[in-house]
């Protein structure tokens, strides 16, 4: 599904080149649940962003379903990532001005799903995540766990093949965190590929493979 070859990412100014990622070679198969671990500043989030096509690598090749992502223009990238990839962030990142219902609806709008279909899918998702009662509330009226639940619901509503989760439980207390992790596990069982960044060994254990990063290098891939 994903194949990274010799990916590098650096920022440069006139004097120094600061490397964030170095010589990353990684292959991800469909249906995997991967946890990316490592200390702060080791490049976990950058890796995730590159895989999510939100950021471009400085060097190297990236194939997504055998298509060369590193050669695509912005339009093609947008097209690809909105159909295949869903995102979950540590700080939820819901649109504050929209209700739960409208937040869920937004990805479908950008995919030009027609109105009836949209209604159906939003209703279905609300039901599946048991947040029907919350559908008219705004994000700031929800607890952190509830917000993350909505964020995950938003990530899966477009039925992506891949979910990228950047410390999804980082802002939650343990009970809520556990709930979210169970949910991701469940999604993975249903066939969605998941890559998560995490600090917690417990959470990493939900996955079937752990990639450890250090100073931009892959330290361990098992």
Residues that bind other proteins (CB under 8 A): 49, 52, 54-55, 74-75, 78, 81-82, 87, 89, 93-98, 102, 105-107, 109-111, 154, 158
Nearest residue (CB) to other proteins, 65 versus 110: 110
Question: Between 105 and 134, whose beta carbon lies closer to other proteins?
Answer: 105
Q: How far apart are CA 12 and CA 6, in angstroms?
A: 19
CB of 11 to other proteins, least distance (A): 11
- Would you tell me how many other CB atoms lie within 10 Å of the CB of residue 97? 9
CB atoms inside a 10 Å sphere around CB 123: 14
Looking at the Cβ atoms of 137 and 210, the one nearer to other proteins is 137
Q: From the CB of 164, what's the least distance to other proteins, in Å? A: 10
Q: Write down the least CB distance from residue 27 to other proteins, Å.
A: 24
**Which residue, 153 or 206, is less far from other proteins as judged by CB?**
153
150 closest CA partner among 163, 165, 134, 164: 134
Minimum distance from residue 38 beta carbon to other proteins (Å): 17
CB of residue 222 to other proteins, shortest distance in Å: 28
Q: Which residue has the tokens 């960044």?
A: 197
CB closer to other proteins, 61 vs 102: 102
- Alpha-carbon distance 34 to 153, whole Å? 20
The answer to whether 48 and 55 are in contact (CB under 8 A) is no
Residue length of the chain: 222
CA atoms within 13 A of residue 200's CA, in its CB half-sphere: 15
Q: How far apart are CA 210 and CA 98, in angstroms?
A: 36
4 vs 158, beta carbon nearer other proteins: 158
Min dist CB 220 to other proteins, Å, is 26
Task: Name which of 198, 207, 214, 206 is nearest 48 in CA terms.
Answer: 198
- Any idea which residue has 């209700």 for tokens? 99
């Amino acid at each position: 599904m994903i194949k990274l070859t010799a990916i590098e990412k650096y920022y440069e100014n006139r004097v120094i080149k600061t490397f964030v990622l170095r010589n990353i070679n990684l292959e991800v198969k469909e249906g995997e649940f991967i946890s990316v671990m490592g200390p702060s500043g080791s490049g976990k989030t950058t890796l995730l962003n590159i895989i999510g096509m939100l950021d471009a690598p400085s060097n190297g090749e990236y194939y997504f379903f055998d298509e060369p992502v590193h050669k695509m223009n912005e339009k093609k990238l947008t097209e690809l990532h909105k159909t295949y990839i869903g995102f979950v962030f540590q700080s939820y990142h819901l649109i504050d001005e929209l209700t739960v219902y409208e937040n869920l609806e937004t990805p479908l709008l950008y995919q030009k799903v027609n109105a009836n279909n949209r209604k159906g899918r939003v209703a279905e998702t609300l039901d599946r995540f048991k947040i029907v009662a919350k559908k008219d509330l705004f994000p700031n009226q929800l607890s952190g766990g509830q917000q993350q639940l909505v964020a995950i619901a938003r990530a899966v509503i477009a039925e992506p093949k891949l979910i990228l989760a950047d410390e999804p439980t980082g802002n939650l207390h343990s009970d809520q965190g556990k709930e979210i992790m169970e949910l991701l596990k469940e999604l993975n069982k249903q066939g969605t590929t998941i890559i998560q960044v995490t600090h917690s060994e417990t959470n990493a254990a939900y996955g079937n493979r752990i990639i450890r990063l250090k100073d931009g290098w892959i330290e361990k891939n098992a």
